[in-house]
Amino acid sequence: MRMEYKTVVTESKKPVYVAEDGTEFASERDCIFHEIEIAKKKIWERDDIDWCSEAEDWSPFNGAENYEHHGYKWCKPATHDAVEALLEAYPPSYGSLDEDCIGKWCCIEEYDGENFWTCIDDDIAYVKNLCRLLGIEVEFKEETK
């Protein structure tokens, strides 16, 4: 009798997640994160989204109390496609954008990998209601340029 060593090659399949740009990932989460980062870069190049860099890191008027730092970005989508691109780049954990937000300022609140959306209309309603309760009348007008 003799003992021999043989190399045995076995075929195995393991899932590979492929991003739209062709980059491969072992986990679905990493692939999704990669695609979101690509979408975030693309939205800054769009002509149908206005950004207000001066308002960056200004929180919306929604009554939320945040004791830790949250990131805020204000944008104004001009088209349905712009809304879709924003939702792809910043998938909502809470709140969302819809057709009613087209042409209005919206806030993306980023914290701990989550995105929270508000439209300026919700903020205005909050401020008006609070002021009404306090006996204060307020009026909001958009500046004309």
- Reading the chain (145 residues) residue by residue, the pLDDT tens digits are 666 777 877 788 888 899 989 999 989 999 999 999 999 999 988 999 999 999 888 888 876 766 677 889 999 999 999 999 999 999 998 888 888 899 999 999 988 889 999 898 888 888 899 899 999 999 888 887 6
Closest by CA position to 120, among listed 136, 94, 91, 140: 140
Residue 104: per-residue pLDDT: 93
Q: Are residues 25 and 58 in the same domain?
A: no
Q: Are residues 85 and 98 in the same domain?
A: yes
| β-bridge mates for residue 111, sequence order | 114
Q: Are residues 118 and 136 in the same domain?
A: yes
Quote the CA–CA distance of 59 and 63 in Å, as a whole number. Answer: 10
**Within-domain flag for 8:** no
Q: Are residues 23 and 89 in the same domain?
A: no
Q: Are residues 73 and 105 in the same domain?
A: yes
**Within-domain flag for 3:** no
Q: Are residues 41 and 56 in the same domain?
A: no
Count of the separate structural domains present in the chain = 2
State the residue range of the domain holding 30. Answer: 15-45
Question: Mapped to the 3 state alphabet, what secondary structure does the chain carry?
Answer: CCCCCCCCCCCCCCCCEECCCCCEECCHHHHHHHHHHHHHHHHCCCCCEEECHHHCCCCCCCCCCCCCCCEEEEEEECCHHHHHHHHHHCCCCECCCCHHHCCCCEEEEEECCEEEEEEHHHHHHHHHHHHHHCCCCCCCCCCCC
Q: Are residues 40 and 73 in the same domain?
A: no
